[in-house]
């Protein structure tokens, strides 16, 4: 009895445990190998991620939800306090953008990378860094994305060097990427934007370079690079070159506003600013970008009506404004899941930029031709029919009367939903002249940047403070270098 129990129970246990003791760490590395995700990945998967995510963020979170208020394409009814210039830090975009730049670094280091991937990654990198510096001013650039090398608190670079450093600046990077793409035999995959067409990438890079040269043009004295680009024939050639990623019909790639709470959609109203501009131009794009008011439709006489920006709910009530009689955004922004594209840059923007550059005398060329090409392209892009007399109206034609204002106002409208581009333009040129709303929380000033993310105060304090001191305060009214 005694012995049999010993054998039956204890002995096998004991044996197993002795064996265990003999192999204390055997198989450990295998156990701790993560089965859920790869350690190495082909560059195309990362590229697909960056292209689509960056475009979506720029268009929905940044464009529709934030910048459309700042640029006065949208006015808020109650909750979207950015319309009253409570700017906040926009930290989600800061974090997400640096994360995408990290993906671009991984493309460059991927075993499957090549010259073409590197160049495309550089173009996207230049674009993403421009977003960062244009929203916040000085940002980590040369020191950024070096956590892998042990730098967890990167120093901030000045905006001037971020754009113009002859080796590493955004402009130099774009030039080099364009040259590489012109010469390379390498190919890429995973590009849903240009269908892996490197020529389109090259033209996009050059068009971006033109965008940035114009952005910093107050700080430039030599405009030959702009002239070269204008003459090169190597810029976007039509809407077919638009840097856009279509939204799809099914989740998770739908235009997010098509699924959002009704209240969020109704927070975004047509503004008095847009209303007056479109009215002045007799512009049929109004029917696409906005809806006639519910009250006017009920009354059988559809009308568009804008709301003044920067009103709080009480003021709206005190003024007796009937919200049922204020226009909402158009069907493409709500009623279909794929009514709009996620955008980087449209051909029309480039044409307006060329027109502006000519009009300002920065380059030689035909401003009207560029201007009209821009208008035609934007109508075509929105699938709106251009009325025959549209271009010849006094309010539209470049007839010597306020030409620059006309160019920039058309350009401004074409930038609706395209991230913060319209806001950047207003900050740079003051056109259109936007008035802060009556209930704004910025002492009547038009804000020109976001606060740095609070997390930078917490985790990168010294570098944050150095940048803030240099910029004259972490303030939404501190102008960045290209605006000064």
Site for other proteins in 217-276 (CB under 8 A): 245, 248, 250-253, 256, 259-263, 266
CB of 81 to other proteins, least distance (A): 4
Given candidates 59, 86, 231, 334, which one binds other proteins under the rule CB under 8 A? 86
Given candidates 58, 72, 106, 173, which one binds other proteins under the rule CB under 8 A? 106
Q: Residue 245 and residue 314: Cα distance in Å, rounded?
A: 40
Which residue's CB is nearer to other proteins, number 48 or number 380? 48
> Measured in Å, how far apart are the chain's first and last C-alpha atoms?
96
Our finding on whether 297 is near other proteins (CB under 8 A) is yes
Provide φ and ψ at 344, rounded to 5°.
-110, -50
Residue numbers 174-203 binding other proteins by CB under 8 A: 190, 192
Tell me if 390 sits within 8 A of 328, measured CB to CB: no
Our finding on whether 317 is near other proteins (CB under 8 A) is yes
Q: Residue 258 and residue 241: Cα distance in Å, rounded?
A: 26
DSSP secondary structure code for residue 452 in this structure: P
Our finding on whether 437 is near other proteins (CB under 8 A) is no
Query: What does the block give as tokens for 134?
Result: 């244009």
For 114, 205, 411, the CA distances from 195, given in Å and listed in that order, are: 17, 16, 27
Our finding on whether 144 is near other proteins (CB under 8 A) is yes
Our finding on whether 102 is near other proteins (CB under 8 A) is yes
Residue carrying structure tokens 């499957």: 112
Given candidates 172, 220, 288, 294, which one binds other proteins under the rule CB under 8 A? 294
Given candidates 59, 72, 89, 286, which one binds other proteins under the rule CB under 8 A? 89
Given candidates 111, 152, 185, 361, which one binds other proteins under the rule CB under 8 A? 152
Given candidates 184, 457, 478, 479, which one binds other proteins under the rule CB under 8 A? 457
Our finding on whether 318 is near other proteins (CB under 8 A) is yes
CB of 185 to other proteins, least distance (A): 24
CB of 65 to other proteins, least distance (A): 6
Provide φ and ψ at 255, rounded to 5°.
-65, 115
Q: How many CA atoms lie within 13 A of 219 on its CB side?
A: 15
Residue numbers 63-82 binding other proteins by CB under 8 A: 65-66, 69, 77-82
Count the helices and strands in the chain (H runs, E runs). Answer: 22, 4
CB of 410 to other proteins, least distance (A): 27
Which residue's CB is nearer to other proteins, number 2 or number 221? 2
Our finding on whether 460 is near other proteins (CB under 8 A) is yes
Our finding on whether 323 is near other proteins (CB under 8 A) is yes
The one segment of 85-93, 354-362, 384-392, 400-408 that binds other proteins by CB under 8 A: 85-93
DSSP string, 229-296: HHHHS-S--SGGG-EEEE--SSTTSS-GGGTS-HHHHHH-EEBHHHHHHHHHHT-TTHHHHB---HHH
CB of 236 to other proteins, least distance (A): 23
Given candidates 276, 324, 392, 399, which one binds other proteins under the rule CB under 8 A? 324
Binding mask 378-417 for other proteins (x = CB under 8 A): ----------------------------------------
Single out the residue of 423, 483, 476 nearest to residue 447, CA to CA.
476
The one segment of 2-10, 169-177, 355-363, 411-419 that binds other proteins by CB under 8 A: 2-10
CB of 129 to other proteins, least distance (A): 11
Which residue's CB is nearer to other proteins, number 331 or number 386? 331
Q: Residue 419 and residue 396: Cα distance in Å, rounded?
A: 25
Query: What does the block give as tokens for 148?
Result: 């892998």
For 1, 10, 31, the CA distances from 5, given in Å and listed in that order, are: 6, 7, 35
Provide φ and ψ at 475, rounded to 5°.
-135, 145
Residue numbers 14-43 binding other proteins by CB under 8 A: 14, 16-17, 20-21, 24-25, 27-29, 31-39, 41
Query: What does the block give as tokens for 315?
Result: 């003021």
Hey, how many other C-beta atoms are within 10 angstroms of the C-beta on 351? 27
CB of 26 to other proteins, least distance (A): 9
């Amino acid at each position: 009895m005694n012995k049999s129990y010993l054998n039956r129970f204890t002995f096998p246990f004991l044996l197993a445990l002795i064996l265990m003791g003999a192999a204390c760490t055997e198989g450990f590395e295998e156990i701790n190998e993560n089965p859920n995700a790869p350690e190495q990945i082909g560059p195309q998967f990362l590229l697909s991620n960056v292209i689509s995510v960056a475009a979506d963020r720029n268009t929905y979170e940044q464009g529709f939800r934030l910048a459309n208020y700042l640029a006065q394409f949208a006015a808020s009814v109650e909750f979207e306090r950015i319309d009253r210039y409570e700017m906040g830090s926009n930290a989600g975009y800061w974090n997400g953008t640096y994360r995408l730049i990290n993906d671009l670094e991984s493309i460059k280091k991927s075993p499957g990378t090549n010259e073409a991937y590197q160049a495309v990654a550089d173009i996207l990198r230049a674009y993403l860094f421009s977003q960062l510096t244009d929203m916040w001013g000085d940002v980590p650039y040369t020191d950024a994305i070096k956590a892998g090398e042990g730098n967890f608190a990167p120093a901030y670079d000045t905006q001037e060097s971020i754009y113009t450093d002859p080796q590493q600046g955004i402009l130099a990077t774009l030039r080099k990427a364009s040259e590489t793409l012109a010469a390379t035999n390498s190919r890429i995959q995973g590009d849903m934007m240009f269908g892996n067409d490197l020529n389109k990438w090259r033209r996009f890079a050059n068009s971006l370079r033109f965008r940035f040269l114009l952005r910093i043009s107050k700080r430039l004295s030599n405009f030959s690079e702009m002239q070269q680009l204008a003459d090169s024939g190597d810029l976007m050639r039509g809407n077919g070159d638009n840097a856009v990623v279509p939204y799809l019909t099914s989740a998770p790639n739908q235009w997010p506003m098509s699924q959002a709470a009704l209240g969020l959609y109704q927070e975004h109203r047509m503004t008095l600013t847009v209303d007056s501009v479109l009215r002045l131009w007799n512009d049929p794009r109004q029917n696409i970008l906005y809806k006639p008011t519910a009250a006017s439709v009920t009354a059988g006489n559809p009308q568009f009506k804008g709301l003044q920006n920067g009103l709080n709910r009480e003021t709206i009530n005190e003024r007796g404004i009937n919200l049922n009689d204020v226009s909402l955004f158009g069907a493409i922004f709500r009623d279909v899941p794929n009514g709009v594209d996620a955008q980087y840059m449209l051909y029309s923007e480039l044409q307006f930029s060329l027109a502006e550059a000519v009009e300002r005398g920065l380059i030689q060329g035909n401003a009207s031709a560029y201007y009209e090409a821009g208008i035609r392209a934007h109508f075509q892009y929105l699938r709106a029919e251009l009325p025959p007399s549209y271009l010849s109206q006094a309010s539209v034609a470049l007839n010597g009367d306020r030409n620059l204002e006309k160019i920039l106002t058309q350009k401004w409208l074409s930038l609706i939903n395209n991230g913060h581009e319209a806001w950047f333009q207003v900050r740079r040129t003051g056109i259109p002249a936007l008035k802060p709303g009556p209930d704004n929380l910025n002492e009547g000033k038009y804000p020109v940047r976001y606060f740095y993310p609070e997390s930078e105060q917490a985790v990168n304090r010294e570098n944050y403070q150095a940048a803030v001191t240099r910029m004259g305060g972490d303030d939404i009214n501190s102008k960045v270098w290209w605006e000064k």
